[in-house]
């Protein structure tokens, strides 16, 4: 039979055989967010288009070329979120979260959408983990979010990541830098792409982020932003570097980093790997002190980062970092006959109440097929209940690993006997669970 349709180009299904890898990585992200004092924020998948035009910047590739924007039946222009920061900032502002006091620390695990050519590590629907801080002007905050991102890579055992940092100054000192960029690119305008020509007067820094090979080559000789930042921004950047030195986190200063979104100010950073090809940036972020103000709020120093989960998983695979396999079935119970099946069902639910994994037949397999299935799912124990077992109120508990068998009662004492057999099998995780159950 022919399928009605396939998945949309640029999207990927995360199947049960792979989802445990995502869960493992996400659990570590949540764990480190908790360690650093962050709480989760969840925002809608779509927002009013003007939110991204104002925050991300209407001269960026994201807004000009990549956003999924459409008109609702009510005539409103809405856009699927291309990144997580703008929506989080809007929510913090709209709901007055700042009334709880600063700093506000929020993290998110979210899907994002950008219309671009699908390739390895870059899809039209992708997923990000992000951490956001609002109301923190100190360079210690910059260093803290960088350390938080670094701690996730450390927990995962990622090797060879390069942390690259830069300062792109504040609105005040960047005006002089923009002037220098205009003068430089003006002399090269006959070679610039049409998109960059449109950016020349409005936001020449965006030319530095152009993906065109010709424009990228021209940008290599452009003036360096660090030559134009003011004393206050320079002092802030020195503070960030000092904190990273104190934390023993190696970094390189890369004046070419400007990030692809307009809301950034001062500190910008990227974690880059050479193990996953051209799309090597697995985490990027920085400070965006003017974002909340741009959205209609009071001036609120803010910062954060986004980490691509797809690229991170590619990196783990490229480096041969094994993600622990999901737990297997602890016991498979087979019932032969209606009464035995009901007893099996009762035992299965009882085991599950102890947070262990129990399975039984729900598709109508015969006994031999059930035994094969129990072996296929690598069940640690099996139990067969038939008429004889019901009459004698006992059955044989089989250890599927070493083949040993033990007669156990089928009354309430079954669970104690099963747990004892499990402990005897040197299952540490069960011992921990039993300790928690006391």
Cα 400 off chain centre by: 37
> Which structure tokens are listed for 90?
């809007």
For the stretch 102-155, pLDDT in tens is: 999 999 999 999 998 887 777 999 999 999 999 999 999 999 999 999 999 999
Full-model pTM: 0.87
The reported pLDDT for the residue numbered 426 is 57
pLDDT-based confidence at residue 62 (cuts at 50, 70, 90): confident
* 273 Rama sector, left if φ>0, alpha if ψ -120 to 50, beta otherwise: beta
Same fold, 16-170+229-318 and 331-425: no
CA distances from 322 to 157, 248, 289, 325, 326 (A): 10, 26, 39, 9, 12
Q: Does the pLDDT of residue 434 top 70, yes or no?
A: no
User: Considering only CA atoms, which of 92, 100, 138, 110 is closest in space to residue 293?
Assistant: 92
CATH 3.30.930.10 fits 16-170+229-318, yes or no: yes
The 3-state DSSP class for residue 394 equals: strand
Q: In this structure, are residues 209 and 258 in contact, taking their beta carbons and an 8 Å threshold?
A: yes
Q: d(Cα 180, Cα 424) in Å, to the nearest integer? A: 74
Q: Among 17-21, 44-48, 182-186, 244-248, which stretch is predicted with the lowest mean pLDDT?
A: 182-186
Say if residue 294's pLDDT is above 80.
yes
Q: What's the Cα-to-Cα distance from 11 to each of 2, 66, 115, 191, rounded to whole Å? A: 20, 15, 11, 35
- pLDDT value, residue 87: 95
User: 394 near 407, Cβ under 8 Å?
Assistant: yes
d(CA 204, CA 183): 10
pLDDT score recorded for residue 323: 95
CATH class of the structural domain 331-425: alpha beta
Buried b (16+ CB within 10 A) or exposed e, 296-334: ebeebbbbbbbbbbbbbbbbbeeeeeebeeeeebbbbbb
Q: How far is CA 160 from CA 42, 155, 274, 276, 282, in A?
A: 32, 14, 8, 12, 12
Q: Which of 388, 412, 408, 386 is nearest to 397 (CA)?
A: 408
Q: What is the pLDDT of residue 430?
A: 52
Cα separation, 297 vs 291, in Å, equals 9
pLDDT of residue 170 exceeding 60, the answer is: yes
Residue 35, pLDDT above cutoff 90 = yes
The model's confidence at residue 261, banded by pLDDT at 50, 70 and 90, is: low
- Residue entry with tokens 């035009």: 53
Percentage of the chain modeled with pLDDT above 90: 70
Q: What is the pLDDT of residue 438?
A: 44
Mean pLDDT calculated for residue range 219-244: 92
CA distance 63 to 56: 7
Which contiguous run of DSSP H or E holds residue 22?
Answer: helix 16-35
Q: In the chain, count of helices (H) and strands (E)?
A: 16, 16
* Region at 320 (left for phi over 0; alpha for psi -120 to 50; beta for the rest): left
Proportion of the chain above pLDDT 70, given as a percent: 95
**Average confidence score pLDDT of the chain:** 90
175, 208, 176, 174: which is closest to 192 by C-alpha? 208
What pLDDT, on a 0 to 100 scale, did the predictor assign at position 394?
95
Cα Rg of the chain (Å, integer): 28
- How big is the chain, counted in residues? 438
Query: How far, in Å, CA of 126 to CA of 112, rounded?
Result: 5
Q: What is the pLDDT of residues 370-423, one digit of tens each?
A: 999 999 999 999 999 999 999 999 999 999 989 999 999 999 899 999 988 888
Domain extent listing, the chain: 16-170+229-318, 331-425
- Counting Cβ atoms within 10 Å, is residue 393 exposed (0-12), middle (13-18) or buried (19+)? exposed
CB 55 within 8 A of CB 89: yes
Mean pLDDT of 199-224: 82
Using the structure block, give the residue that is written with the tokens 């599950």: 352
17-33 tens-digit pLDDT: 999 999 999 999 999 99
Q: Note the pLDDT of residue 432.
A: 55
User: How confident is the model at residue 429, as a pLDDT?
Assistant: 55
Residue 260, pLDDT > 90, answer no
């Amino acid at each position: 039979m022919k399928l009605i349709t396939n998945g949309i180009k640029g999207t990927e299904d995360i199947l049960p055989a792979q989802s445990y890898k995502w869960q493992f990585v996400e659990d570590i992200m949540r764990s480190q967010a908790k360690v650093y004092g962050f709480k989760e924020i969840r925002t809608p998948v779509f927002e009013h288009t003007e939110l991204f035009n104002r925050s991300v910047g209407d001269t960026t590739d994201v807004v000009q070329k990549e956003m999924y924007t459409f008109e609702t039946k009510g005539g409103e222009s809405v856009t699927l979120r291309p990144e997580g920061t703008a929506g989080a900032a809007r929510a913090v502002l709209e709901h007055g979260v700042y009334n709880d006091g600063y700093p506000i620390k929020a993290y998110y695990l979210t899907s994002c959408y950008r219309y671009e050519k699908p390739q390895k590590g870059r899809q039209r629907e992708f997923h990000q983990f992000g951490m956001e801080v609002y109301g923190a002007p100190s360079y210690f905050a910059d260093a803290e979010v960088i350390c938080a991102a670094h701690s996730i890579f450390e927990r995962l055992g990622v090797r060879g990541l390069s942390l690259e940092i830069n300062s792109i100054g504040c609105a005040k000192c960047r005006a002089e830098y923009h002037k220098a960029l205009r003068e430089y690119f003006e002399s090269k305008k006959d070679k610039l792409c049409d998109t960059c020509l449109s950016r020349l007067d409005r936001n020449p820094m965006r030319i530095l982020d152009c993906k065109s090979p010709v424009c990228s080559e021209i940008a290599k000789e452009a003036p360096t932003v660090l030559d134009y930042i003011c004393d206050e921004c320079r002092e802030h950047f020195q503070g960030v570097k000092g904190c990273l030195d104190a934390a023993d986190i190696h970094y390189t200063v890369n004046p070419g980093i400007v990030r692809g979104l307009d809301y950034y100010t001062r500190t910008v950073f990227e974690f880059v790997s050479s193990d996953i090809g051209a799309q090597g940036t697995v985490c990027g972020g920085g400070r965006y002190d003017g974002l909340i103000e741009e959205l209609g709020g009071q001036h609120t120093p803010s910062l954060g980062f986004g980490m691509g989960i797809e690229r991170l998983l590619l990196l783990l695979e490229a480096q041969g970092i094994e993600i622990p396999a999901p737990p297997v079935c602890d016991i498979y119970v087979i019932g032969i006959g209606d009464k035995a099946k009901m007893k099996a069902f009762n035992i299965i639910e009882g085991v599950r109440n102890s947070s262990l994994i129990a399975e039984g037949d729900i598709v109508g397999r015969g006994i031999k097929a059930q035994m094969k299935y129990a072996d296929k799912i690598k069940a640690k124990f099996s139990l067969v209940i038939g008429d004889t077992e019901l009459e004698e109120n006992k059955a044989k508990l089989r250890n599927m690993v070493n083949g040993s068998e033990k007669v156990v009662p089928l009354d309430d004492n079954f669970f104690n006997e099963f747990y004892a057999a499990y402990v005897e099998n040197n299952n540490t995780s069960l011992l921990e669970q039993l300790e928690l159950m006391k």
